[in-house]
Amino acid sequence: MGVALRSIRVSRTIRVDVETLFQAWTDPKKLMHWWRQDAEGWAFAEATIDLRVGGHYRLAMTAPDGKVHAAVGVYREVERPVRLVFTWDWEKPMEGAEDTLVTVDFRQTDTNVTEVVVTHERFADPARMGRHEQGWTELLRLLEGAVS
C-alpha cells in the first residue's frame, strides 16, 4: 500500500508583468539576483537550465560555511509565460529524501500585477514540508525584490 502524499502551496502577488516573472524564474542571469536563502551569508552559486519538456535544471546556492546546495530535476511542463512543472530533488539527497514535484503558476491578475503560486507535492515525509514551505516563501519574497 502506498504512502499518503502531501503538498504545500505558497503564493505572492507581485507588481510586475507575467513575462518578467517567467524570465526571472528561467533565465540564469536573472536567477542570480534572487535564488538563495534569505539569511546572512547565503549566496547564489549557479543555474543551469535546459528549458524544454524533458530538459534538466540545476539551481545552486552557497551556504555561509561554503557548502553548495543544489536542487536538480527535469521539466515536465513548460507553458510560457504561465506555467512550469518540474521534478525536485537535491543533488546530494539527504537520507530519506524523495523526488517531489513543483508547479509554478504565473497568474496575471491585472495590468502589471501577477500572482505567483508554487505548489510542491508528493512529500512522503511530512517533516520535510515545513522547511520547504519556509524556503519557497523566502524565495518568493526575494523574487519580488529582484523584479520590483
Q: Is pLDDT of 121 > 70?
A: yes
**pLDDT confidence tier of residue 3, bands split at 50, 70 and 90:** very low
Say how many Å lie between the first and final Cα of the chain, rounded. Answer: 47
Locate the domains of the chain by residue range.
Answer: 6-147
CA atoms of 57 and 88, how far apart (whole Å): 10
pLDDT at 2: 44
pLDDT attached to residue 1: 37
Residue-wise pLDDT for 11-61, tens only, equals 999 999 999 999 999 999 999 999 999 999 999 999 999 999 999 999 999
Question: What span, in angstroms and rounded, lies between the C-alpha atoms of 21 and 7?
Answer: 23
Taking the model in full, what pTM does it have?
0.92
What mean pLDDT do residues 86-104 have? 81
CATH 3.30.420.40 for domain 6-147:
no
